[in-house]
Structures are given as structure tokens and as C-alpha cells.
Structure 1
């Protein structure tokens, strides 16, 4: 059994490990852990008190994938519920669909009796106003339906793409029955255009799991993972015989082929079915963000959670590697 979660998942990692130790499923353990992060008002990027889009609305995305059945549930554009991961899990367990968005997802949550609570807090609005003034250089009070947001949003995103707040909570786990699962949850980028969906709820881009090989997830610049299908690529590279380390490096090499568009940092988390892991923060440009950290626990290796610093690599580092694959 194992658990890997990024540093932003701190609020729920102890609970997830406890559940795994008590022979709960990987899916239930991940949902419980991520739910605690979503309910933590101190989290800046997930659930309660999440980051607002350029119009001031907080919308949430989440997903959970079952590596045994190669199936997933996902939601995007949630405004009325804090626990987006619970809605995603309900879709996985009891819907013929894999993904629901916005009002449809919220209606589904209501029918499944998931408690309704707005993720927007006063701190969300205060933070939005501060970021708006910093990166749009306008007074938010001028916003109206007649304002063209596209250029303002583009200016803000390009100006704030190094901002440390854009991230996703990710959990990957294997349970006592050898089943692997991966879960994600996020409020997305600050000042994103209304309706923007990143990689976090998109299977193959922001997450992927397969019991036969392992799992992968991505955080930070979701547009890059969407373009390169990064999480799926990591698992597929393991499928063709690469180690998890080689698989992540190969996925890094894929990212170097991206041209144009928004290129920044992408953190790739990979783990094989035995619990061997590799986490790399890829910088497409100089002066990337500080090295991220992640939580790791393996029942057979250590009884305690470890907080580990990820490797960081720049585009030139990847291109100069003497790949043996």
C-alpha cells in the first residue's frame, strides 16, 4: 500500500493513510483525504476559499480514477459545492457518464444528497481584488457584462503565470487489494477566463491510473498537460517497459516539443504499481518556481509520511540528457 500527494494535500494525508491502514479502498481514502483539503479554509487553491476567475466567481474542478476498471468520474465549473471530489466520486460509482459540468453536475450532486455550500469566502473576494488590481491594473468595480474580458484575462494570465497560487491537490494511492486510484481537485488559475477548464478533470491530461502499471498526475500549467496528454503518456511509457523515472523524463521530453501558447512550469507526478515514484517540476523557461514538495508513504518502507523535495529540470536540461530510451 502507498500514498503520494502533493504538498497542498497536507490537510488530508494523515486521514488517507489511516484509512488505507484500516483496509479501506484507495478510492475512498483519496476522496476522504481530498475532502478535508477542500474543507480547509486555509487552502488557497482548493474548495472553500478557492481562487476566483477574472469575473470574481469561484469554480471548482475535480476527478477520481479507478485503476482497476480504468474508469473515472469528473466535474468542472462547480459553484455551489465545496466537495467537488465527492460529486466526481458519485459520478464514478453511479452514473453512465464520466464527466458532468456546471449546472448539470450541481443538479446531480443535489440528487445524490451531497451537502451544498458555496466555496466562496470573503478571503476569495479580497484575494481576487488584490490580484485583479495587480495584474489587470484596473479597478474591479468597472466590471460589467459589457466589458470585454478576453484581453484583460490574457494580460492577467501572462503577467501572473509565475504566481505561486495556481496548482491542484493530487492524491495517488494503492490499497490492500492492490487497486490503484488517483484523485484531483482545484479551483483553477486565479483570474482565468470564465468557463476555463484545465487539466485537472481531464482524464489522460491531469491524471491517469492503471493497476497494471501505476498512476500519474500533473499540476500547475494545465494547458501544457492538455496539449501533451502528459499523465496518460507517463503510464503508457511504463507500459512499454520504461521505469517510472524514465517514463517521467520521457514525458518531460514530450513537453519540449510544445511550441507557442502558454508555456511555463508543469509538475509531473509518477508512481509505478510497486510504489517507486518520480516527481519532476519542468521549467520551460529560465527562473522557474521553487522546487515543490510532496508527501509519500509506503506501508512496507516506512510507518511515517515523508515530505520530499521534487527534482527540478529546465528545458535545456531535458534536451541535453543522454536518453537511453
Structure 2
């Protein structure tokens, strides 16, 4: 069903596919939104499925095929393991359903492009869940940052909740997406250097470091870990007239500090500090509201599928550099 088939002012019928941690977050937030009805959940685990049915007063199905056979839905959130994103999203798009899929859209760039083409052919919204785009602090950075020459991002977590992809596609991709948003279009990556380590018997990297160089000379360095004793989500952005430090982990706030150089940095050794506590009020709710508004045709996208592809392509190049143990030229 495309957006022009929707009945004006009728509640959108939404399904949540996968009711693990993220799926429950999606369902809980959908339940608070106006003109939305959770029609069904899809969950292979019987206990979680029944729990979700009771919590949200909806139908429950063990498979996607059962959902599509018994329900008419307008939209779906896909919160299944990453390795299933492509198959589940493709099936929903082919059935005429608008899709919000958790990042990354797929583990394979070619599959991601195939989904983008399919959504365009079907006239459907395909939105990738890059939740950091809806952080007030990230939106502040987009307004304030102009020409960085150095960016350093650290994203550390004690959680190994995601098992089917490594830390690059699990965590680092958030910061890749933020950095691309700050650099703007037309400023491509010319070099990638990366290393990673699998730990605790995992076949996938649990710790990863990467450095990329942009066409304009800016360097961006990334550190991601899911075996850290303490969480950390920080970013430093250096420009010639200021340096910005961001701590995203002070939920529900982000702390943003601006160190501004009065006059020429070459002739002054002191800086002026501006400190802001930015309230990041439920960015997932904002993301879902944006998805639904796009379906209704009342807003333009914050971030495009081209942006999603660019972030995924760089993440896969970082993984290639890790495997090869050398820098990978980007053409």
C-alpha cells in the first residue's frame, strides 16, 4: 500500500517484527502516538510473543507469512537480527508495506541498494533506524560545525547483545553516520585504515579502531568496543576557530562544550568555553513520528537512503581493511 492509498485521518496500522529489546522499545513508543494502532507483532519466541500481545492488545504471529496472510498493515518496524534485515524488509516491501528497519539496512551493500530500488519502484517509505540523527545534540553539531580538520569518536559498551554482526556494524556505524552528516555531500573518503579484535571466543570483531581521510584532508578516527567495563559515547571535533567536545552518554542529556579561540589561534593561547546540556528527549519517539509523517506525506526525510548507503559502504570498507591488514584505497 502506498501513501496515496491511505485513508485521511485514519489510524495507521503498524506491525512490529521482532520483540527483543529494540522491538519492545518500538512498540512501547508506537503505543503512545496518536493515529497509530499496533495491529500485530511477529516473534518466533512464544513467551515474548504472548507478552507483547497482552502488553499492546494486538495480534501475534510466529512468522512474517502468517502476519501478511491475516492482517492488512500500512507500516512495520523491523527489529530482527541484522542478518535477517534484508529478507524481512524485502518481503514487507513486496507486500506493499512501508518499512522502518533498524540499522544497518543490510550486511551487504548490494542487498542494501536492491532494497532502495525496490522501495522506489513500489512508491514506499524505507527508513533506516539511524537514531542519532534525531539527537538534539547531533542536530546542534550540524548547525555549528563547518570545516573540521580532525574528528575523534569513541563508542564503548559493556553489552554484547548483538551477536550476528561485529562491533563495526553494531556500534561504529552510528558515529560513521554522524561524521558523514558533519562533512556534507561531495566530500568523499580517500583512505581507510582499520584493525579489529575478536574476543571471548567470538568469530566477529568486538573491538575496532579505524582512521579515514576525506578529500579535503580531514581525518576521522573511530574507536568502538562492546567489551568495555563502562559505557562511553563521546566525540571531539576540531576546527581552526573552535573545538567541540560532546558526551552523548549523560542521558537524557548530551553535554556539548565549545572551546572557542578569540582571534587567531596562532597568537592566543587561551580559549573561551561555552557549555550546553542538551535535552535529548526520546529520540526513538521522534524517529517513529518522522517515519509516520513521511508515510502521510507531511514531511521531508531527515537523511536519505543515499546517506544510509554511504555509511554502510564505509563500514564495509573498514571491515575489508581489517581483514586485509592494510589501508584500502577508495575510488
What TM-score, normalized to structure 1? 0.29
Q: Larger radius of gyration, structure 1 or 2?
A: 2
Q: Structure with the greater relative contact order (CA < 8 A, sep ≥ 6): 1 or 2?
A: 1
